[in-house]
Structure 1
Amino acid sequence: MNPDLRALLPGELRAESTRITVGTESGYPPFEYTNEAGRIVGFEIDLFDAASDRLGLKYTFSDMPWDSLIDELYASNVDVVAAAMSDTAERQVDSDFVDYYNDSDAIMVPAGNPEGIKTLKDLCGRKVAVLVETTQADALTALNSDQCQAKPVTVLTFETDAEALAQVQAGKADAELTQWSTGAYNAKQVGSGDVFEVANTEIINPTPLGFRFLKGDVELVRAYQASLQSIIDDGTYAEILEKHDLSAGALETATVNNQPPQ
C-alpha cells in the first residue's frame, strides 16, 4: 500500500473493512477468463489487482453477463466495471474511464481464410457474429449505413465472445468482429492454433480500453488513475503486459476519458 495514493480515496473507502465490488464478464481472454481452478484471471485482473493493492483497497469480483454490467453500475450494485470496455465519447456521457490499454478490432475467420476476407468492406453481404452491445456491434451497424448499404451485413449478436466465435467454427457465420487482443489470443489458443486466424492486417477502429466508473465518482477515478500511473512509472505495468503478451498496446500515461491528467 502507498499512503499517498490511499489518501486520494474517498473517506468512506479508507476504512480497513471496506470492500468495493467490481463487475466483470469472465469469458474474454486474455483480459479476463476462468482458469481450471475456477478462479477469474487475466491481464485486466492482474492490472486491477496491482492498482488496488497500491491503494490498499480490497475488492470482490461479481461475474455477470456482459449486457448486465452497465445496468449494475448505474444501480450502484458494482462500483467499477473491469471488462475490457472501450472508452468512447458516447460512453463518457454518463461514465468516466481510467484508460489502461490501446486496442483495435479483429476480423476472425476460419484458418486459411476461405472467403478471402481482409477488410471491413469485405464483410458486406456476409453473416458476421459479434458480442452484443459492444463497439464492434456498433461498427457493423455503421458499416450497414455506409459501405454496405447495397449488400448489408447480417449481424448475429451473442451474449459471449465464445458463442460468437463458435458460429464461425460451425460455419453459421462467415466471420466474427472482436477486439484485436482477444482475437489474436483465440487464434493462437483454440485447438492447436489452426482453427481460426485474424483476417485483417490493417488497424481497425483503434480505441483505448479502461476501467469504467459512474460519472461523478471523481475521487475514486483520480485514485485509480494515480495508482495506475505509479505502476506504469515503476515498470510493474510493463511486466504485467509482457506476462500476457500484450506489450504492443501499452500506454505511457494513464489517462481519464482518453485525456491526459490535468
Structure 2
Amino acid sequence: MKKLLIATALATIAGAASAQDIVRLGTEGAYPPYNFINDAGEVAGFEREFGDELCKRASLTCEWVTNEWDSIIPNLQSGNYDVIIAGMSITDEREEVIDFSAGYLPPASSSYLALSAETDLMSGPVAAQTGTIQASFIAENGMQLVEYATPEETVAAVKNGEAVAVLADKDYLVPMANESGGELVLLAREESIGGGVGLGFRDSDDALREKFDAAIKSMKCDGTLDTMITKAEYFGPESKTWGDAGKEGC
C-alpha cells in the first residue's frame, strides 16, 4: 500500500522532480551489455553504471525498476517509473508519444545471427524483438518478420528452426556468436538503423529531461562517457564513441 501511494504521488507531480524526490529509472534487465540482472538479482551493465553517474551529477536520488520491453513505453506514460533507460533508439515514431534526451550512445550497427554464413534472409522468417527498430526494418524491407517478447527468445528461434536469422544490435549478438561454439554465426551483412540511443521521458517532464541532458553533456565534455562506452565489459575499445563531436558546445 505504501509503495502504491508513493507511485501515485510521483505520477501526480511528474516533471517537478527535485533532489529530494526518488526518480525511478525503468529498464528491461535482459539485454547485455546494455542492461541485465546479475547474480545478486540487481540491474547491471553499461546503463546501470551510466544511469547511476547521471543521477549523481544531476543531484537526484534514483532507484531502478525493471519492466518487459513490449510495455516499457505505456508503463512510463502511466507513471510506473519516470525515465526509460533501456537501449532505446531515438526514432520519429517513438518521438510522437514520448520525449528523448540527447543521445548517450551513437547510432550502432545491427547484425544478423544465423546457423550458417550462407543463410538466405528471404528463405524464411527473420526474428526480432517486438517493438524494436529491427522489427520495423525487417517488415519494411521485404523479409518475413516473426516477433518475440524477449531477446533470448529471438536467438532460441534461430536455434530451433523457427527463424532463419535474428536481427538485433550487433553489440548484443557478438557475445552470442562467440559463446555458441560455432553453432551460431554473424552474417557479413549489417544494417544502420535508428538515430542513436537516448533516455525516454513523458512529454510533461521537461524539467527532469533538462537535468539529465545537462548531466549527459557533462559526461561527454569531460570524456567520461566515451571512457565508459569503451570498457571491455561493455562495448569495447573498437566501439563507436562521441569523440570530438561530443565536446561541441562544452
What TM-score, normalized to structure 1?
Answer: 0.80
1:169 aligns with 2:172: no
* Corresponding residue to 2:228 among 230, 233, 240: 240
Q: Aligned in 2, Cα 1:84/1:254: closer, same or farther, shift over 3 Å?
A: farther
Q: Give the CA RMSD over aligned residues.
A: 2.3
* Amino acid across the alignment from 2:18: R
* Amino acid across the alignment from 1:166: A
- Residue 132 of structure 2 corresponds to 134
* Separation in structure 2 between the aligned mates of residue 202 and residue 129 of structure 1, nearest angstrom: 15
- Residue 104 of structure 2 corresponds to 100
Q: Aligned in 2, Cα 1:141/1:173: closer, same or farther, shift over 3 Å?
A: same
- What displacement does 1:12 show? 4.0
1:68 aligns with 2:56: no
- Residue 79 of structure 1 corresponds to 82
SS in 2 for 1:13: coil
- Residue 240 of structure 2 corresponds to 249
2:18 touches 2:60 (CA, 8 Å); kept in 1?
A: yes
How many residues are aligned here? 230
1:127 touches 1:175 (CA, 8 Å); kept in 2?
A: yes
* Amino acid across the alignment from 1:251: W
- Residue 170 of structure 2 corresponds to 180
SS in 2 for 1:157: strand
- What displacement does 1:15 show? 4.0
SS in 2 for 1:77: coil
- Residue 26 of structure 1 corresponds to 29
Following TM superposition, the consecutive aligned residue runs of length 4 or more in structure 1 with deviations greater than 6 angstroms are: none
* Amino acid across the alignment from 2:192: I
* Amino acid across the alignment from 2:171: S
Task: Return 5+ residue gaps in structure 1 as ranges.
Answer: 1-9, 145-152
- What displacement does 1:240 show? 1.1
1:123 aligns with 2:113: no
Q: Aligned in 2, Cα 1:58/1:185: closer, same or farther, shift over 3 Å?
A: farther
* Separation in structure 2 between the aligned mates of residue 136 and residue 191 of structure 1, nearest angstrom: 22
* Separation in structure 2 between the aligned mates of residue 249 and residue 207 of structure 1, nearest angstrom: 13
- What displacement does 1:207 show? 3.0
Q: Aligned in 2, Cα 1:196/1:61: closer, same or farther, shift over 3 Å?
A: same
What TM-score, normalized to structure 2?
Answer: 0.83
Task: Return 5+ residue gaps in structure 2 as ranges.
Answer: 1-13
- What displacement does 1:246 show? 4.2
* Separation in structure 1 between the aligned mates of residue 246 and residue 146 of structure 2, nearest angstrom: 34
* Structure whose residues are more often strand by fraction: 1
* Separation in structure 2 between the aligned mates of residue 104 and residue 55 of structure 1, nearest angstrom: 30
Among all aligned residue pairs of Structure 1 and Structure 2, give the percentage whose two residues are the same amino acid. Answer: 27
- Residue 7 of structure 1 corresponds to none
SS in 2 for 1:210: coil
